[in-house]
Structure 1
Amino acid sequence: MIPESFQLRHGDCLEVLPSLDPGSHDLVVTSPPYNLGINYRSFDDTAGRSDFLEWCRLWSAEVKRVLTDDGSFFLNVGAAPSNPLFPHQVILALTGGPEPLFVLQNTFHWVKSITVQTRKGEQISAGHFKPINSKRYVNDCHEYVFHLTKTGEVPLDRRGAGVPYQDKSNIVRWGHTDGIDKRCRGNTWFIPYDTIVSRDKERPHPATFPIGLVEQCIRLHGVGERTRLLDPFLGIGTSAVAAKRMGVAGFTGIELDDYYLSVARERLDPPEGELKL
C-alpha cells in the first residue's frame, strides 16, 4: 500500500516543482539525467553542455525554494570516462558564479565495486560494475554524491550513518566516542547494486541507484521519521521505496515518463507476497 503522505506526480519537474510549497521538504535525494546520451523513454539526454547546465540551475533553484533552511540536498552525478569533468561542471554551476544557489558541504564517493587486500594478503572483490572495452580508460567503479545546503552549516547525524569500530580499543581511547561503538563512516560509501536476473523485468530503467544509497542519505540527514523527502527525478521509484522502508513522514516524487511512474507505483504497492526492490 502506498502511504497517504506519499505523492507521486507525473510531469516535468520544472512544471511540478513550482506547485510545491516553499520550505515543504527538508531532504532532497535525486539523480538527474547525466547528458551522456542515455536512452531514456521520454527525455532527450543529448543537450548542449551550456544548455544542460542552465537547465540544472533552473530546477535546482526550485529545489532550493522548497527546501527548508536547514535542509540537505544530496545530488548523485556520474560521468563517462571520456568526459570526467562533467560532475564538477554541474556542481560549479550550482555553487559558483556571482549568485550561487547552494554551498557544497560534503562530497561523497559512491563506490559500486572495489577490490581490497586483507592483512593476510588476500584480495577480495565485491560489488558490480559495467566493464569498459578500452585501451585508454579503466573501468569506472564509482560516482559522486554531492551534499549541498543553503549555508554549509547544516548539522548531520554522523553516527546515524556510521559503522562500528574495527579496533574496539579506540572506543575508550578517544573521548569523543562517549563509549559508543560507532564512528563516522566517512565520505566513501560502498553500496553495491542488488543482484538481479533480468534487467528488463527487475530494473527497467537505464540509470538507477540502489535503495541503500537513499537510506544512507536519510540516516545522515538525521531527522529520522520526521523526514520529508523529495525526488524530482523519480525514475522507477527507488527513493520512494527507501522512504517507505525508512518510515519517513512524507515523500514527493516527480517523474516525466508515465511508464517509469507506473513501475514506481507497483514497487510501492506490489502484489501480495511479492517484494519489488
Structure 2
Amino acid sequence: MNLIGGDCLEVMPRLAAGSVDLVVTSPPYNLGIGYNTFKDTAPRDEFLAWCREWAAELRRVMADDASFFLNIGAAPANPLLPHQLILSLTEGTEPLFVLQNTFHWIKSITVATRAGESISAGHFKPINSKRFVNDCHEYVFHLTKGGDIPLDRRGAGVPYQDKSNIARWGHTGGEDQRCRGNTWFIPYDTIKSRAKDRPHPATFPMGLVEQCIRLHGKGAATRMLDPFLGIGTSALAAHRQGIEAFTGIELDADYLQFAHERLNGGRDFLFPPANSP
C-alpha cells in the first residue's frame, strides 16, 4: 500500500506507463462541496479541462486491458455535470476513453414485494424543495481504452432468485450465480458521528469499490490506483480484497492522515502513519 500526499497531476507523471490495472475513484464534483483544501467552484469549462488533464495521465499509466471506474454525482439544480464530464472524456477529435458500461449506484430505494408490501432500504439526504425530488443515485462510468475489456460478470454477480433458471438456461453452466446488471444498490454504512467516522463531505461506501474490484476480475494480483483518495475508502476496500499493489494520492493532509489512521485500525498498525519516513 502506497499512500502519497500531493496533487495527482504532480504525482501521476512519476508513475510508470502501463503500470495500473484498475482505477476506482471519485473526483470533486464541482458542485460547491465544502472540502478542506480543494475549491469546488470552478467555471464549468475550466473544470472539464482540468478533468481531461488528469484523465490523460490516468490513460497513460493504465495498462491496455485496464478498467477505470469513475463515480460522479449531480445536484438536482445542476443535473448535466456527469453527462458533460463523460462526453468530454469520450468524444472529440482525440477521445481519451471508450464508455464500456454505465452503472447506477442506488443509495436508497423502495420496492414492492410479490406480497404487495413496500420495503424501503438505504440512506438518502433529504432536500427541502418544491421543484426537485430527493436524489438517491449516482453514476459509475466504466471507461476503458478500447471498449472491449472482458469482465468477471459472475464474480460480481448474485444468486438466482428462481433456482429453476439454473437448469433451464444453458448459459448458467449449472452455477447459481448471474450477472448483477448495471443497477447496484449499495447503501452507506451506518455511522454514529460524521465528524469522527466520516470527516469528508463526499465519500462512497467500501462495497461500491469492492464491486468494481470483483467485476474487473484480476483479484489480489490487481495493480490499483485512486488519484483522489480522500479518507482512504478505496484503500480499505483493496486491502479487504487482498490487493497489495495499491497507490492512493490525496491533496489534503488531514484527509490523508485520516486514511492512514483508518488503515492502521487503531490496533493492528498495518501501515505506517502519514508522518513516517
TM range (shorter): over 0.9
Offset, 1:85 = 0.8
Equivalents in 2 of 1:247, 1:263: separation in Å?
A: 21
Moved over 4 A (4+): none
Question: Of residues 140, 147, 152 in structure 2, which corresponds to 1:157?
Answer: 152
**Residue aligned with 1:15, SS:** helix
Equivalents in 2 of 1:24, 1:263: separation in Å?
A: 27
TM-score of the superposed pair, with normalisation by structure 2: 0.96
Offset, 1:271 = 1.5
- How is 1:86-101 mapped onto 2 (pairs within 5 angstroms)? 86-101=81-96
In structure 2, the CA distance between the partners of 1:273 and 1:250, relative to structure 1 (3 Å rule), is closer
2:252 matched residue in structure 1: 257
Equivalents in 2 of 1:84, 1:272: separation in Å?
A: 43
- How is 1:138-149 mapped onto 2 (pairs within 5 angstroms)? 138-149=133-144
One-letter identity of the residue aligned with 2:122: G
Equivalents in 1 of 2:150, 2:40: separation in Å?
A: 35
Count of aligned residue pairs for this structure pair: 270
RMSD: 1.1
In structure 2, the CA distance between the partners of 1:24 and 1:273, relative to structure 1 (3 Å rule), is closer
2:66 matched residue in structure 1: 71
Offset, 1:82 = 0.7
One-letter identity of the residue aligned with 2:85: V
Offset, 1:249 = 3.5
- How is 1:212-251 mapped onto 2 (pairs within 5 angstroms)? 212-251=207-246
Q: In percent, how many aligned pairs have the same letter?
A: 75
TM-score of the superposed pair, with normalisation by structure 1: 0.96
Equivalents in 2 of 1:129, 1:271: separation in Å?
A: 29
Q: Which runs of 5+ in 2 are unaligned?
A: 271-277
One-letter identity of the residue aligned with 1:197: K
Offset, 1:8 = 0.4
One-letter identity of the residue aligned with 1:201: K
Q: Deviations over 1:199-229 (max 9, x none)?
A: 0000000000000000000000001111111
**Residue aligned with 1:107, SS:** strand
Equivalents in 2 of 1:83, 1:270: separation in Å?
A: 38
**Residue aligned with 1:91, SS:** helix
Q: Which runs of 5+ in 1 are unaligned?
A: 1-5
**Residue aligned with 2:152, SS:** coil
**Residue aligned with 2:86, SS:** helix
Equivalents in 2 of 1:124, 1:163: separation in Å?
A: 20
Q: Deviations over 1:41-70 (max 9, x none)?
A: 110100000000000000000000000000
Equivalents in 2 of 1:117, 1:35: separation in Å?
A: 36
Matched, 1:40 2:46: no
1:85 matched residue in structure 2: 80
Equivalents in 1 of 2:216, 2:19: separation in Å?
A: 16
